[in-house]
């Protein structure tokens, strides 16, 4: 294994351990904090379990990195199966999107909250199509839909400003800016990357395989690679995804304690 790949995979494994530990600390804090109102307690617990789906899903993918379309893996075995990895990713990402929707619902942005999950469900279908057919067009569509969902999320947070106490509005603004930064990254980096890969496939005459064949292929074919050159295009987004995005999921567990509806006299 190359030194760069050894360093990176070790860092991912360390992130997985850290993130699972942080989730455990969040769970303990929730238990020690004592019961609040019934609605507040239910909200916290739902966020905690949704976060568990995302945190543990990302931990699995950190321990067993997979580059889906070319079927590249670091370690052979069923734990690195492309089919298993994509299934874990789907559950995790739907949990993360549900956290977004739950926060918006709490802030009263009901229409935006209802839009988030359908957008991400379609994004997951596009992702599965890309993985099974080995064509990157589906990934370009998937990332575009994530960008749209993040934009809806950011706008809804901005419009909810008057629904929170003045002292908490900077936190809300910060969350909106993070979401907008994600949109910029997706539009400026991720979507163009996958579109370029799709264009290269078309240029070399790549023929996608059919979905049923793709299921068998994704379940059984794994190409072990310890060359940094094979993973160099993936390391940045995977590192950010398994660190910053996971920490955002964990932060959402605690937003009920930080973002509260403003009293009527404080609203604009």
Torsion of the alpha carbons at 128, 132, 135 and 139, rounded to the nearest 10: 20
Nearest to 51 by CA among 248, 256, 249: 249
For the chain, first and last CA: distance in Å?
59
- The reply to whether the predicted model has a pTM over 0.85 is yes
Stated as kind and residue range, the H or E segment containing 222 is none
The residues spanned by each domain of the chain are: 3-260
**By the 8 A CB rule, do 61 and 89 touch?**
yes
One digit per residue, pLDDT tens: the chain, 268 residues?
A: 788 999 999 999 999 999 999 999 988 888 776 555 555 667 778 889 999 999 999 999 999 999 999 999 999 999 999 999 999 999 999 999 999 999 898 888 899 999 999 999 999 999 999 999 999 999 999 999 999 999 999 999 988 887 777 777 888 888 899 999 999 999 999 999 999 999 999 999 988 899 999 999 999 999 999 999 999 989 988 999 999 999 999 988 877 544 554 444 344 3
- Count the neighbouring beta carbons within 10 Å of the beta carbon of residue 33: 12
Query: Helices 38-63 and 82-106: crossing angle, nearest 10°?
Result: 150
Give CA separation, 237 vs 56, 163, 186, 233, in Å.
Answer: 18, 34, 10, 8
């Amino acid at each position: 294994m190359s030194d760069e790949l050894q360093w990176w995979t070790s860092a991912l494994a360390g992130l997985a351990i850290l993130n699972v530990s942080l989730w455990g600390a969040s769970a303990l804090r929730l238990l020690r904090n004592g019961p609040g109102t019934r609605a507040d307690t239910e909200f916290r617990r739902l966020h905690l379990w949704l976060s568990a789906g995302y945190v543990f899903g990302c931990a699995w993918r950190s321990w067993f990195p997979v580059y889906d379309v070319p079927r590249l893996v670091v370690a052979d075995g069923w734990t690195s199966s492309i089919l298993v990895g994509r299934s874990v990713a789907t559950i995790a990402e739907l949990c993360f999107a549900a956290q977004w929707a739950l926060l918006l619902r709490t802030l009263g942005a009901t229409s935006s909250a209802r839009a988030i999950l359908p957008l991400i469900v379609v994004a997951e279908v596009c992702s599965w199509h890309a993985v099974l057919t080995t064509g990157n067009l589906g990934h370009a569509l998937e990332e575009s839909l994530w960008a749209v969902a993040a934009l809806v999320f950011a706008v809804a947070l901005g419009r909810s400003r008057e629904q929170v106490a003045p002292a908490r509005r900077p936190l809300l603004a910060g969350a909106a800016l993070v979401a907008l930064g994600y949109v910029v990254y997706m539009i400026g980096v991720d979507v163009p990357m996958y579109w370029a890969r799709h264009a290269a496939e078309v240029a070399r005459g790549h023929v996608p395989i059919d979905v049923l064949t793709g299921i068998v292929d994704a379940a059984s074919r794994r190409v072990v690679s310890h060359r940094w050159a094979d993973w160099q295009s993936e390391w940045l987004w995977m590192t950010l995804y398994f660190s910053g995005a996971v920490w955002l999921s964990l932060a959402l567990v605690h937003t009920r304690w930080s973002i509260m509806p403003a009293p009527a006299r404080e609203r604009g």
